[in-house]
Structure 1
């Protein structure tokens, strides 16, 4: 009776209807929530699969690109190392090369270029293979690269002065450009470069490496990673400017002196013209060599505006045109221009084909 009376009451009817609607809404909400969760989980799984696929594709593309760049850079480097090695062997094969001042200086230049090319290629292989070195090992490789890289412009200065003496003071050339004086000049060149490297090492020792958790590097080895202290960066810039000025002024002065001597009536026109072209080539080589010293600052300035992948590609292109090609110019320029070196160099490069052809004739 009580229940029937309650159902007949309008207020009780409203309460029952509200309770039913509440339970129905809860059921619909829970059902939709479960369906939405399943749909979200499915969409999330599909999204994760797409992301994983893209990451795998990017990693594969990065590996393929590294292999492609390493092949395109490694093959010319091996060819140039073979040419430079053959040129070095040629310059030691004859007595006239071992007792002539300009050939001795050329040998020193080629030796520094070949060593610098080998060290640079070794660092490039470490970077391409993502091999992380320790700070001491990286420091030794970078300092050896710096040493051989800075010998080239200083040797070009001595070679330019030798050509200037040969054209402007031909009668005194034999007494000035002796083997002893040439050896002293080479020793001075190496001493200046070694002093610069020793100064860099002292600046590196001021860095608190003992405060680091490990001497293992977190990035690939390069000369940029060795600029660990602002003082080292300032010294590197100052020495680069000093090297640029101290090498450019003598070469330009020698070029102007040879041009003035070529206009005089007593000068040998052919010899002066050849010396002028040689000095012009020295100036081009000096520009490429000094540009390689400024490569670090160019990369640093580009790193603030470009992405890392684009920067790596640009750095690879710079490596080919700044480091590899200039290191082989000396062998090609002097080996093919010099009438004394050319037949012997071609003989060694062509594996005696030239000699057999001449014997048949």
Structure 2
């Protein structure tokens, strides 16, 4: 009798465990789909936008469009990398420290490109309004390429310093190269120096970028009151700088994504936590990466008709491919 009861309890326990595992896997698939679908939509829009910015000579020969291409390229790559890391974490795939380190460092390089490029774009708009006669001599294609090179070099230098700080960690004491947690930037800060440096660098970049954009905005505001300044052009540039400030704020919010989730995971139920995680991820990671395409694709009169044309053509071609046998 005891053996039968024990057997029944064992079978019930195994059945419950199997059901729990199946339900957990189903939830991960559903939640991953809910993030992957909008991510793919925005990636599609971004890629079409990138193609649009290379479809006409005027886009390749104008500084602000070149800067926009650099910003959009960084956002597109970062969106793809973020979604890849999200899927890896959602399905609890444990990477090794070297593989995770490579993905995180690549993400760090791209992450800094957006705020730094926004600073350069803001300065370009400031010169266009405050020094219109000297704009053509200051904002040249050559100077724009140099500015983009400085942005990428500065971001790469930051990652190089992070790698040097990681070398101080005693990796030989690790029992295995396999990570215990999911692959994230916070899990690669293996020492106190790395953590302190990362925080200091993040504060420095975003405070400096905020000061530069706000100063440009104030300069444009002052210039708008001048009788010699085109009021309509100044107002448009002022609105653009405000949007840059919003983009910068959203970029900053994406850097606190993982720390915020780590904090709330300790106080919330797992089901509630996962739902909040999806909302937070879409709002502060996916959405900011597509904001540039939406802002410039809709507001810019030169880009809008070409972007709409390419989007409509691509959608028609896909529809025909699905209908044809």
Shift of 1:45: 4.3
Tell whether the 8 Å contact from 1:77 to 1:121 is kept in structure 2 after alignment: yes
Tell whether the 8 Å contact from 1:240 to 1:294 is kept in structure 2 after alignment: no
From 242, 245, 249, the equivalent of 1:283 is 245
Shift of 1:310: 4.4
Distance 1:135 1:98 in 2: 40
| Equivalent residues in 2 for 1:222-261, closer than 5 Å | 222-261=184-223
**2:125 corresponds to:** 163
Shift of 1:256: 1.3
Shift of 1:239: 1.0
Greater alpha carbon shift after TM alignment, 305-314 vs 74-83: 305-314
**1:73 corresponds to:** 35
User: Cα deviations across residues 299-345 of structure 1 (Å, max 9, x unaligned)?
Assistant: 33334433555444433322211111111110011011100011111
Corresponding pairs, count: 316
Distance 1:133 1:217 in 2: 6
User: Cα deviations across residues 93-119 of structure 1 (Å, max 9, x unaligned)?
Assistant: 111111111000000000100111111
Tell me if 1:54 matches 2:16. Answer: yes
Shift of 1:148: 0.6
Structure 2 unaligned spans of 5+ = 317-325
Distance 2:297 2:17 in 1: 50
Distance 2:91 2:23 in 1: 15
**1:102 corresponds to:** 64
Tell whether the 8 Å contact from 1:347 to 1:353 is kept in structure 2 after alignment: no
Q: Pick 1 or 2: higher relative contact order, CA cutoff 8 A, min separation 6.
A: 2
Distance 1:338 1:84 in 2: 15
SS at match of 1:305: coil
Shift of 1:178: 0.5
| Equivalent residues in 2 for 1:79-98, closer than 5 Å | 79-98=41-60
User: Cα deviations across residues 105-143 of structure 1 (Å, max 9, x unaligned)?
Assistant: 000000100111111111122223332211111100011
RMSD across aligned positions (CA): 1.9
Distance 2:110 2:228 in 1: 40
Structure 1 unaligned spans of 5+ = 1-37, 355-361
Greater alpha carbon shift after TM alignment, 79-88 vs 206-215: 206-215
**1:30 corresponds to:** none
Shift of 1:210: 1.5
**1:114 corresponds to:** 76
Determine which structure has more spread, i.e. the larger CA radius of gyration: 1
Tell whether the 8 Å contact from 2:184 to 2:258 is kept in structure 1 after alignment: no
Tell whether the 8 Å contact from 1:160 to 1:282 is kept in structure 2 after alignment: yes
